[in-house]
Structure formats: structure tokens, C-alpha cells
Amino acid sequence: MDFKKIFKIKVKFIIDMENTKMDKMDQILKIFPGGVFGLISVIIILSGDIISIVLFPGGYSFFENMISELGRGPYGIFFNLGVVISGIVSVAYYISLYRSFDVERVNPILRKSAIIFSLISIITYVLIGVFPSIEENYIILITHGTFAFISLASGAIYLTLFSILMLRDSKYMKLQAYYGFIVAGTYVLFLLTWWPITEWIATFAIISWIAVNSLYMLYYKL
């Protein structure tokens, strides 16, 4: 059996699959710009959060209850679905943001690192909704916490990297870059404190970051 030949065939198959996926993404982004997906993801997660807060048993407190607690109980499905769907939809936004940077003006390694860490953050974010914070199931609870930590840590990294890219690309305003650094800081603050209110601050910060950048990308057709 020619293992070398088999290996080459497998590699070619994987490359062809990736190229096919990117071709499909290109077709989608030609019809619906990345900014549209960013705004849709924001609307979805806000809707899921609001519905879950309103229906939360006994009343929800921004100072006493963690966001993950919205995923528990009979109405947790609204929060969990919001997380999963918004995360999947946001992939097109991040790819569009990644592609918007001029490859001749920014560091290619920095650019690739930004999209890699953003995809890691998104994937683990989606898995947070798949594995909700259920206290009765220790394994699922630990799994949920692990994905949450990875999503936040990688999130702080990609926010910092994208902000650096914005500083170096004249298509973006420096104010956008500075705000990105602030959002990354809110992530770090929550990771250091693990307080409900700092979690909400980080959540509203990332939602506003996506919304503002999406509108900017749509306006300037990036």
C-alpha cells in the first residue's frame, strides 16, 4: 500500500474542501456583507438575553446572578439558542473584518493570528450554549466553565490584535482601535474578578464593539 500517495490524496481533499468552503463564504458575503451578519448576531443575542431575563424565575439581578445562569431552567433555551445562533452567524462578520485589512499595510502574521483567535473564541462561545451551566451535572458544569474561560481569554487576545491592526490600517479610525483595547480590558477585568456585574460590562462592551464596527463596515463598504 502506497501510504505516501494516500497521504497526498487526503491533503488534496482537505485543501479542496477548504477552498470550497471559502468559495461559498465569498458568495454569501457578496450578497450579504459581513456587517449585516454582525448586526444580526447582536440582535439575536440581545433578544435571547432579554427574554431569558424577563422569564428568569424569582427575578434576575445583574449584581448577584452570572450570565450563564440564564441558560438554566425551562426558559434557558432562549439564552442557549441565542448564544449558539449568534455565534454561528458572527463567523461571517469576523471573516469579513479579517479580510478588510490591507495585507500590504499590516503584518500578515498578526492578521492571521487575529482571525485564528477570534474563531477559537467563537467556537468555544457556541459550545457554552451547547453545554449550559447546569449545577446538578458536575461534568457539564466544568465543561461549560472551561469553554467560557477559553472563549474569554482568546477573546481578549483577538480584540487586542484587531485593535492593533486598526491602528495600522488607515481605513479605520483610531477611536475604534482604542475602544477595542478597552473591550479587551473588560474581558481581563472579568477574568480577574469573576463578578456578575463585570461579566455584564464585558458583554455589553463586545456587543457594542460588534455593532459599531458592523455599521462602519457597511457604511464604508469594507
pLDDT at 22: 58
Residues contacting residue 152 through CB under 8 Å, at least 6 positions apart? 121, 187, 190, 191, 202
Domain ranges (residues) in the chain:
14-219
Contact in structure between 41 and 93 (CB atoms under 8 Å): yes
pLDDT at 14: 44
pLDDT at 3: 47
pLDDT at 55: 96
pLDDT tens digits, one per residue of 94-136: 999 999 998 888 999 999 999 999 999 999 999 999 999 988 8
Angle subtended at Cα 83 by Cα 77 and Cα 89, rounded to the nearest 5 degrees:
125
Distance between CA atoms of residues 138 and 131, nearest Å: 11
pLDDT at 4: 56
Average pLDDT on 149-159 reads 98
